[in-house]
Amino acid sequence: MVAWLIRFLLGLAVVAVIVLAIGSRQTPQSATPPAGSGGSVPPTDVPVAPGPTREPFVERVVSRVARETQAPYPTSTPLPNGAALVSIVDFGYLPGVVRIHVGQTVVWRNDGREEHDVTGADWHSGPMEPTVDYRQTFGVPGEFRFRCSIHPDMVGTLIVD
């Protein structure tokens, strides 16, 4: 009877030792995470993401005109370097007086809807349909008049110096 009690107490002691050993192992493990996370414990240091109310109110304005209105005419072709442009409209030359330097080129462009031309004293562009260009380079200084042979009221002056 006493021997059975001793065995029981020894077994209980062994079980207790095992339980304490396991508990002592788990105790440091369970104590480590609070120590590791102790640095970030103060919640006041955590930066707070700016709320949507802090952003300035920006209203996007989309121009309806820019979306719905297309360019009335195709973009003009670039002029040769240093050239002067004379726009031919219905029914005149813009500008009416063109000032260039010797050696400079003048480009006449029919921006009208009618056929026109550019006629000088000894040069002629020929019939120019709308959007057609005609270019002429002038190497002699002087004042020259040009006109449209189709429409006698269309006149212009070219001053070369």
Q: Which is nearer to Cu ion, 98 or 148 (CB)?
A: 148
Q: Which is nearer to Cu ion, 54 or 113 (CB)?
A: 113
By CB under 5 A, which span of 16-24, 36-44, 101-109, 148-156 interacts with Cu ion? 148-156
Q: Give me the least distance between CB of 91 and Cu ion, in Å please.
A: 6
Q: Which is nearer to Cu ion, 138 or 146 (CB)?
A: 146
Which of positions 114-133 make contact with Cu ion (CB under 5 A)? 116
State the Cα–Cα distance between residues 93 and 95, nearest whole angstrom: 6
Q: Which is nearer to Cu ion, 45 or 129 (CB)?
A: 129
Compose the 87-106 pattern: x for residues touching Cu ion by CB under 5 A, - for all others.
--------------------
- Alpha-carbon distances of 102 from 139, 144, 156, rounded to whole Å: 5, 13, 18
Choose which of 154, 156, 158, 160 interacts with Cu ion (CB under 5 A): 154
State the Cα–Cα distance between residues 154 and 129, nearest whole angstrom: 16
Q: Does the footprint of Cu ion cover residue 151 (CB under 5 A)?
A: yes
Q: Give me the least distance between CB of 106 and Cu ion, in Å please.
A: 17
Count of residues binding Cu ion (CB under 5 A)?
5
State the Cα–Cα distance between residues 131 and 149, nearest whole angstrom: 18
Residue numbers of the site for Cu ion (CB under 5 A)?
A: 116, 148, 150-151, 154
